[in-house]
Structure 1
Amino acid sequence: MTGTIPVTLMRGGTSKGVFLRLTALPPAGEQRDALVLRLLGSPDPMQIDGLGGTHSSTSKVVAVGTPDEARALGYEVPDGAEITYLFGQVGVDVAGIDWTGNCGNLTSAVGPYAAHEGLPPEPPAADGRHTVRLFNLNTGRLIDETFVVRDGRVREEGDFAIAGVPGTASRIDVDVLDPGGSVTGRTLPAGVATQRLFGLSASVVDVTTPIVLAHAEDFGITGIEPRDQLNGDAELLARIEALRGAAAVACGLVENASDARAVSPAVPRVALVSASVAHATAAGDKIRAEDCDLVVRMTSMGVVHHACPGTGLMALAAAAALPGTVAHAIVGDRPPGRDLRIAHPKGIAVAAATVTPDAAGEPYVAAVAMPRTARRLMRGDAYVPAEPLP
C-alpha cells in the first residue's frame, strides 16, 4: 500500500536533497532505511521510481526537527541548540544508507528549511541577517548558520555566487563549532599528521568529516584533470579506494580495508591535492595560479566529486592549518583564520579554519566556516510504496 510523506526538495550548496520532518521517519533501523531507499528510488542507477538524482550529490535525505523531537527519539541534544537534523547519504545503485557523517552543502539549507516549515525560532520581523544554532545528530556538533531575512521570511535571492551552481543567490554562512573528531573522536585519528598508508604519504584528518589527503602526483596524475577523465580510469579509482580502505582502518571505522566500501561507503573521503597551477574548470573558465592556494580532486561514494563536498572543503581548510599534514606542506604557514582558496573541477571555493593552541600547546581546531547558498525547489507529498525495490 502506498503512503504519503510531506517533503521538500532543496538545493544546498552544490548538493540537492529531500528534506522532511524528523518525526516522519521511523526510529533507526531496517524500517527507516527501507522507507528512505524507496523514497529516493534506490537501488537503481537511474533512481527512476523515486526522488533521487542519480549522483551522490543528489541522492541525499535530511530529516529536521526540534530539540525535543530529537530527544524523544533518544538523541542527546545540548542546551542552546534550536534546530536538530539527521543526514543520510543514500546509495544510488546499492541498497545502503550511510548515516555516519554530515553533509556540509545541505547543512546550508537546514536553517532556511526550518524557517519555511515554521519551526522555532521564528525569523525576526526586521530585515537583516538571522542566526540559528543547529545540532547535527550524526556528528554531535553545533553549527551556527546565518542567512538573510526580509519581511520575516527567508531571502533566497541575492548576488552571491558559488562555483558549481549557476547564477547567484543570497549568501548563507555555515560555522561549525569544535569540529575536530566529528566521527572518530580525534582530529588526527592516527595521532600523527602524516603517515604511510597504502605505501603513500598520507594525512588522515577528521574535522566535520574524516578525509584522507594524498599528493595527486603519487597517483600518477597532475591533479587538474577533468572529473570525467578520472572517473573513466577504473584502475585509478581502484587505487583510490584502496587508500580509502586503509584510511578507514586508521579511523577505526572498519577492521579490514576491504570492508570499507560496504560498511562505510561515504567516509572517509579521499582528497588528492596539488599545488596551485594555471588550469581550466569543467566549463572552460580559466583559473590562474595566483587565484587559489590548493587544487583538489575529492571523492564521494567511490567516484570523483563533480565539485567538492562541503564538509570536505572545511576539512581541507583545517588540514592546511595543521602543521605536518600533506595540505600544510603545500600551502605552508598562513595567517590564522584566513580563507583557503580551493580549486575544484567547477571553480574555486573558500573555507576557513580557526586553529588555536590547546592547554598542552597542541593545535586545536576551534571552528571551521564556509559560505554557501541554498534554495527551496518544491514542496509537496511524496508517494512511497510499501514494497522495496528488488
Structure 2
Amino acid sequence: MMNSIPCMIMRGGTSRGPFLRMSDLPEDEKARADILISLMGSGHALQIDGIGGGDPLTSKVAIVERSAHPDADVDYLFAQVDVLNHRVDFNPNCGNMLSAVGPYAIESGLVEPQPDFTLVRVRNLNTQRLIECHVPTQGGQVLYDGDTRISGVPGTSSAIQLSFLDIVGTKTCGLLPTGNVVDLIDGVAVSCLDAATPIIMIRAEELGLTGHEPPDQLDANSQLLARIERLRRHAGELMGLGDVSQSVLPKPVLVSPALEQGRTLCARYFVPHRCHKAIAVTGAIAVASSVSVPGTVANLIAVGAGSLEANELASRVSIEHPSGFIDLEVEHRGSNATDIARASLIRTARKIMAGTLFYALPD
C-alpha cells in the first residue's frame, strides 16, 4: 500500500534531503525509521526506489516542528539514513542540513518572517542544544539569491549565519571526554573531543598519509579504512559512548598542516566509513574548538606550522578540506581554552522542491 507525506526538498550547506514536519510522522521511533528508509530507498547502492542520492551526504532527513522550549522557535531532529542497510541513526547532528532549517521554518509558517533578517531559534533534539539562525528575508519571503559562495556548492546564494551555543559535551561529559588532550590507541596518538559532535582526531602522517589525499583515494584504501574504524571503536569506549560499531559517532578526522597561507590546518572528515567531499559543519566546529587547547593534535599541528601562536586563543579558524575551506568564529569565555560560549559560521541554502512524497511500509 502506498502512503504519502508532505515534503520540501532543500539543500542545506553541502548536504541535501527532505524536510518533514514532526506532526506528519508517527511518535514511535521504529515506525518513523521505516518511513524514512522507504522515502530514501535504502538497501540499494543507488537508492533507486527513493529520493536518496546513493551517498551519505544526500541520504539525510530533517524533521522540524514548532518548539515548546521557551528559548526556541522550532525543534529540529536530524536523521542519517544508511544507504545500503535498512538503518536510521538519530544520534548525530548535521549542521549543513541545519542551514536550511530556518528557511524551512519560515516557508512552512512555523516562524513569521521579519524585514531584512529573521532570527530563527532552533533546538536540536539530537544534542539538546540551541542554535541561532539568521535568515535573510524580504517582502515576507526567504531571500535565497545572493553573492555568498561556500566551498563544495556551485554558484552563489544569500548568507545564513549559524551560531551554535554551548557546544561542549553534546554526547559525552565534556570537551575532552577521556580527560586527556591526547590518548594513545594502538600506538597512534589521537585527540578525543566533543564540541557540537564527538570526534576522534588523528594526525594524518601517523597513518602514512599527507592528509591532502582526495576522498576517492582514501575511500579506495580498505586497509586504511579498517584501521581508522578500529581506532574509532576504541575511542568510542574511552569517550564513554560504549560500543559504537552500529553508530556513526564519533566521527574520525585526519588533520595535517594547511597548504594555503592563511589557513589554520587541513582536515579529512569521515562519515564515518567514507571521506566527506567537504567537511561537516559540526565536525568543523569540533576541530576549530580544539585548535586553542594546548597539546591536542590540532593545536600541535597549528602551532608547529606557525598558523597559531603557542597559548593563543584562536577566535578565527580556517580549515582546508577537499572542496576548499570553511571559516569559523570561536568565542571563548575569558581565557579558558576549553570554555567555549559559541561557534559561528556562514552557510547557504536553497529550496528545491515542495510537494508530496510517496512511500511503502514493510509487510
Query: Normalised by the size of structure 1, how large is the TM-score?
Result: 0.88
- Verify: 1:276 aligned to 2:266, yes or no: no
Partner residue, 1:284: none
Tell me, yes or no, if the aligned pair for 2:293 and 2:337 is still in contact at 8 Å. no
Deviations 1:247-277 (A, max 9, x none): 111222224xxxx232x1x211111000112
Pick from 342, 358, 363: which aligns with 1:383? 358
The answer on 1:261 being equivalent to 2:245 is: yes
Match of 2:184 in 1: 196
- The residue correspondences of 1:51-200 to structure 2 (distance < 5 A) are 51-68=51-68, 77=69, 79-120=70-111, 122-124=112-114, 126=115, 128-200=116-188
Deviations 1:126-183 (A, max 9, x none): 2x22212110011000001112111121100000000000010000111110010111
CA distance in 2, matches of 1:108, 1:102: 12
Distance 1:370 1:183 in 2: 22
**How many Å separate the matches in 1 of 2:200 and 2:130?**
23
Match in the other structure for 2:21: 21
Report the Cα distance in structure 2 between the residues aligned to 1:216 and 1:362, rounded to whole angstroms: 24
Measured against aligned partners, the alpha-carbon deviations of 1:212-269 in whole angstroms (never above 9, x if no partner) come to: 11100001010111111111111111111111111111222224xxxx232x1x2111
Equivalent residue number for residue 298 of structure 1: 269
The answer to whether 1:350 aligns with 2:327 is yes
Structure 1 residue 352: Cα displacement: 2.2
Unaligned runs of 5+ in 1: 69-76, 278-288
The answer on whether the counterparts of 1:60 and 1:89 sit within 8 Å (CA) in structure 2 is: yes
Structure 1 position 363, deviation (Å): 2.7
Which residue pairs with 1:308 in the alignment? 279
* Structure 1 residue 323: Cα displacement: 1.9
Q: Distance in 1 between matches of 2:186 and 2:138?
A: 52
Question: What code does the residue aligned with 2:226 have?
Answer: A
Percent identity among equivalent residues? 39
Q: Which amino acid aligns with 1:44?
A: H
In 2, the alpha carbon distance for the partners of 1:235 and 1:147 equals 44
Rounded to whole Å, the distance in 1 between the matches of 2:361 and 2:28 is 17
Change (3 A) 1:362 1:147: closer
Look up the match of 2:202. Answer: 214
Between 379-388 and 162-171, report the one with greater CA deviation.
Answer: 379-388
In the other structure, the counterpart of 2:297 is 326
CA distance in 2, matches of 1:191, 1:337: 22
Residues 329 and 362 (structure 1), Cα distance of their counterparts in 2 relative to 1, 3 Å cut: closer
- TM superposition shift of 1:337: 5.5
One-letter amino acid of the counterpart of residue 5, structure 1? I
Contact 1:85 1:134 in 2 (8 A): yes
| SS of corresponding position for 1:16 | strand
* 2:3 corresponds to: 3
Conserved in 2, the CA contact under 8 Å of 1:321 and 1:353? no
Q: Distance in 1 between matches of 2:185 and 2:27?
A: 37
Once the two structures are TM-superposed, the CA of residue 198 in structure 1 deviates from its matched residue by 2.9
Q: Which runs of 5+ in 2 are unaligned?
A: none
Aligned residue in 2 for 1:285: none
Letter in 2 for 1:92: V
Q: CA deviation at 1:387?
A: 2.3
Q: Secondary structure of the residue that 1:34 maps to in structure 2?
A: helix
| CA spacing shift, 1:28–1:194, aligned 2, 3 Å | farther
CA contact (8 A) 2:175 2:338 kept: no
- Separation (CA, whole Å) in 2 of partners of 1:350 and 1:24: 36
Q: Aligned residue for 1:72?
A: none
State how far apart, in whole Å, the 2-side matches of 1:21 and 1:198 are. Answer: 45
Equivalenced residue count is: 357
Contact 2:198–2:251 (8 Å) recurs in 1? yes
Contact 2:291–2:314 under 8 Å retained in 1: no
Amino acid of the structure 1 residue aligned with 2:249: V
Distance in 2 (alpha carbons) for counterparts of 1:28 and 1:291 = 48
Paired residue secondary structure (2:268): strand
Q: 2:338 aligns with which of 360, 363, 375?
A: 363
